[in-house]
Every structure is written in structure tokens, then in C-alpha cells.
Structure 1
Amino acid sequence: MVSRKDAIRNELRNVRASMNVNDWRSGSLLIAEKAFQVPELRHADSVMFYLSMNDRREVDTAPLINLVTAKDTVSTFVPVSCDRTLCAVPFSKSDPVVAGRFGQPEPLHARTGIEEVPEVVIVPAVAVDREGRRLGYGMGYYDRFISGLRKKGGNPFIIALVFSFQLLDSLLPDDPWDEGLDCIVTETDVVRIYKP
């Protein structure tokens, strides 16, 4: 029996995968411009980005990485798969990448063992709702990673990048281990869940 999470996941992954390349590129650029206006990101000293799986039409993070790293004092990280969670490893946009365990781009020469907790973590999503629930690919890697950062005493600001059709008005089903979002950015909207 297909769960409600799986049904939503399958439907929206198919819709996203069917985006034409021009809509995907222009939408990703608009999302980058809007995300860069979020104060927590704009003023952060350390940011973890995901490297987008462009063949799956995830929001392309390259334009946002370019905007953030124009300020050369920002420390940038990307995730690599470490056992059943993620590790944040230092990243420069000139670093060569290879396909990771699930097809996601990862740095070729990843240096693990970094203890820094990024101030901002940019996450991908298949679907989100306006209450800050996030539906990923169903393996819990980001939930375990974010939970681990909080157990270390960190309080990262979590931003999901999605296209507007991935932002649902109805509530997504959630589980006790699901980590919530602080902010959602689409090509048309910025939804703040965390309000300082």
C-alpha cells in the first residue's frame, strides 16, 4: 500500500522532472535572487548548500552559490553521504564533483571531520507546506543531519528551495523525527516560518 507521503512524493517528482529546461533555469535564477534577500542567508558567515541534481530538475543551486560566494569571507559547505547521515564538507565552486551514492553531486576530494556548524543550511525538497513541513526523498538523511547539528548545540537556519508547485497549501503528513523549516523560497514567494 502506497503511503500518502509516497503518493505526494511520486506525483511531484514526476511534475518536476517534466519541467522544460527554460522554465527550470529561469525559475532557479528567480529563486536564487529571492533567497539571497533573506537576511539570515545574506549576512551568514557559513552556509551549507546542496549540489543540485539537475537531471531531476531540483532547483539549481549554482546561481545562489555564485551570489553568496561573491562575498569571499563566507565559508561554504556541501553535504556528502556518511553512513546513514550527512557530513558537511568544505566546498569551493571550482572543486571537481562526482556522483555520490544516490546520484547527487559530491566533491571529488571531500575532507570529512569538519566540526563547524553552518549558520544556514539550504535543503532540497520534493514538497513543502506553509507550516514548514518538508517532504524529501524518504531516506531521512537531512533530518538526521539537522538533528545532529542541534544536538551539538547548533541552531542553523534551514531554508528549502522549491518551485511554486511544490509549495502545498494543505498540510503534509509528518513523523516525530521530521525536522522543520525556518524559511521556504520559491520563484514567486518567500515564506518565513521562523519569525525573530
Structure 2
Amino acid sequence: MKKQELRENYKARRNSLTAEQLTLLDEQLLEQLQQYDWSAVRYLHLYLSIEKFKEFNTWPFIKWIWQQYPEITLVTSKSDFETHQLHHYRLEKDGKLLSNSWGIPEPIDAEEVAVELIDAVLTPLLVVDQHGNRVGYGKGFYDRFLANCRPNVLKFGISYFEPVPLIEDVNEWDVAISRLFTPGKTFYLEG
């Protein structure tokens, strides 16, 4: 399938999930994230979920990292909708957040973090194929961001759904991920 068809299909599938289903899926996803050994990571970039889009709730994972890996600096982004670039900031326990026009919580008055420092990125996505090619919301924010990261940055994704066999219309600027965390299973991808 092509990206637009996959995007529409998986947005509809995610939107059809009930609150009870989301709670269970989030718990199962959190278990998968907790099984990973994060000890080699010093700067971990992750997204703050958009509640109205029924994205995986990253807050229990964030709190777990702060407790289990206090040496890890958590990083999140602010979106520049004119340039479609992400700017990266330290996520602090007592930091202030303000939701942007899309409903994405973003840090305010936070310390900026250079992209070169980031060791691992947890990307939001709707679906991914077995080669690690992602389908998100179609604006390319994360492709631009990942292209600017160090070549050895760990590129991970989080989804409620298992990988599809193939995304037919992958472009040269698409950046694949190498691992996908899903409820009940972590997939190691070919990309």
C-alpha cells in the first residue's frame, strides 16, 4: 500500500480504539519499553503524545526513565510549522509545558539541546513496514530531524500496530527506524 492509504487506514484504526483498549495497549507498550536496556543512552529524545490523536501516552515511560535511569537526559521538541523543523529541548520534571496549535505539549523556558548529543530517538508513527519505513502525519518533521542526527543514533518507533510488509512509495528523504515497540512485542526491522 501507499502512504496516504496506510495513513487513512491506521488513523481510523487508532481512532476506533476505546479508552479501555488504549489503557491496556499503553500498559503492554510500556512493558516492552521497560524491557529494553537503556543504560548506554545519555540523551533520549521522545515525543509528548497528542491526546486527541490517541497516541501512546509517553508519560508513564518518562516517569519510569526518571526513576530507573536518572543519568539519562530526556529531550523533546518544539515544532516550527513554517520550516517543518523540530527544535530540541531538555525535558525536566518541574518544567513547564504549553500545547501548540496541534495539541502537542511543548517545553517553555527550557534548555536547548544540540542534535549531535542525542543517542536515541523514539518516534511517533501510525504504521511502519518491515524495512523500518514509517508513516506518520505526512509533514516530514521526523525525517528532517533524523537526517540531521549522528549516523549511529538509535532510531526507534512506537505503534499500537505490527509492521506491514511494504510501503510502496518510500522516498529518498525518508529515514527508516531499526526497532519498533508494540504492545506485547518488539520488532527488529531490516532498515
TM-score (norm 2): 0.88
- Residue 106 of structure 1 corresponds to 106
Question: Among residues 153, 156, 163, which one is paired with 1:156 in the alignment?
Answer: 153
Q: 1:168 — aligned with what?
A: 163
Shift of 1:93: 3.6
Number of the residue aligned with 2:23:
25
Q: Which residue of 1 aligns with 2:7?
A: 9
**May I ask how many residue pairs the two structures share in their alignment?**
187
1:60 aligned to 2:76?
no
C-alpha deviation, 1:181, in angstroms: 0.4
Amino acid at match of 2:164: D
Contact 1:81 1:101 in 2 (8 A): no
Counterparts in 2 of 1:69 and 1:116: CA distance versus 1, 3 Å: farther
Aligned-residue offset at 1:91? 0.5
Q: Is the 8 A contact 1:117 1:156 kept in 2?
A: no
Deviating beyond 6 angstroms after TM superposition, the runs of 4 or more aligned structure 1 residues are: none
What's the counterpart of residue 139 of structure 1?
Answer: 139
Q: Residue by residue, what CA displacement relative to the aligned partner does 1:6-33 show, whole Å, maximum 9, x if unpaired?
A: 1210121121112111211221121122
> In structure 1, what is the Cα distance between the partners aligned to 2:91 and 2:51?
18
Deviation at residue 42 of structure 1 after TM alignment: 4.5
Distance 1:7 1:43, change over 3 A: same
Are the aligned partners of 1:33 and 1:64 in contact in 2 as well (CA < 8 Å)?
no
Give the AA of the match of 2:95: D
1:64-122, Cα deviation, whole Å (9 max, x unpaired): 11221112111110011143211221012432211124321111324436354211101
- With 60-69 and 175-184 compared, the bigger mean Cα shift is at 60-69
Query: More deviation in 174-183 or 97-106?
Result: 97-106
Question: What SS is found at the alignment partner of 1:81?
Answer: strand
Check the 8 A contact 1:65/1:93 in 2, yes or no: no
| Paired residues of 1:28 and 1:63 also in contact (CA < 8 A) | no
TM-score normalised by the chain length of structure 1: 0.86
The SS at the match of 1:168 is: coil
Structure 2: which amino acid aligns with 1:90? R
User: What residue number does 2:179 align with?
Assistant: 183
The separation in 2 between residues aligned to 1:55 and 1:99, in whole angstroms, is 12
Query: Counterpart amino acid of 1:187?
Result: P
Describe the shift of the 1:7–1:33 C-alpha distance in structure 2 as closer, same or farther (beyond 3 A): same
Determine if the alignment matches structure 1 residue 37 to structure 2 residue 32.
no
- Retained in 2: the 8 A contact 1:89–1:112? yes
Structural RMSD (CA) = 2.1
**In 2, Cα distance between equivalents of 1:53 and 1:105:** 7
Three-state SS of the structure 2 residue aligned to 1:36 is: helix
| Structure 2: tracts of 5 or more residues without a match | none
Which structure 1 residue ranges, 5 or more long, are not aligned?
A: none
